[in-house]
Structure 1
Amino acid sequence: MKKPKGRAGSWFAEWDGENLPCVHKFWTEGIWPEYADKGFDDRPEWGPFIEALQEKGRAILTTSHPQDADGNWRRKSYIGIWSVSDVRVTDNKELRFTFGDLLHRF
């Protein structure tokens, strides 16, 4: 089975000729199908990442290793591709959205 191909440091992975944003399962625990990433900050990667979620309406859900000492995540495995909707950044500086249909499982 074909799996996505990511690169260290990239917030995206290539699957079937397209770069899709990757999101961490950690931020769904206890609130599925909602997603609430509390790590939103002023890094420039957020702009293209949020735009891709909004425009493509899809994301690759991943499992991750625990955060390193600098607070960075490293992917462990790819779970699947889901549709996403209602992508927004809240007043509390959280990236939030809702998962919809499972489109492909890895």
Structure 2
Amino acid sequence: MTKEARKAIGTRGSWFAKVGNEDLPCIHKHWLSGMSYHEPYCEISENKWSEYVDALRLGKAILTTDNVVGEGPQFQRSGYVAVFRVANVALSGRDLTFDLVERLEDLR
């Protein structure tokens, strides 16, 4: 019997969502190219960004689909795709990069 996909639960304005008992950072499909992620607007001096990057360095993230709703750009989450193992989290100026190295589970 196939294991049923779990549901991610997020809240409006949060950069995290809960899957089971884990609170995981959400990453935008918009910034993904193949299995490489590049977010060009990171402001590590802001607490929200610092917390987010620290969570990514723990090695897991939720890939989300989103609608672009503003400049910068700003996103409105439209769905959850899967939980991925991430590695090679790096910052260079405002550029946040990392690799998706393993798809751990699909989400519904």
**2:88 is matched with which residue: 86, 89, 98?**
86
**How far has the Cα of 1:39 moved from its partner?**
1.6
Rg larger in 1 or in 2?
Answer: 2
**1:46 is matched with which residue: 39, 45, 49?**
49
Q: How many residues align?
A: 102
How high is the TM-score relative to the length of structure 1?
Answer: 0.88
Q: Which runs of 4+ in 1 moved over 3 A?
A: none
Q: Structure 1: where are the runs of 5+ without partners?
A: none
Cα contact 2:6–2:106 (8 A) shared by 1: no
Q: Going by fraction, where is strand more abundant, 1 or 2?
A: 2
Q: Structure 2: where are the runs of 5+ without partners?
A: none
Deviations 1:21-75 (Å, cap 9, x if unpaired)? 00000001xx3110000121243211010001102x0100000011325742111
Partner of 2:31: 27
Q: Give the % identical residues.
A: 30
**1:2 is matched with which residue: 2, 6, 26?**
6
Alignment RMSD: 1.5
How high is the TM-score relative to the length of structure 2?
Answer: 0.87
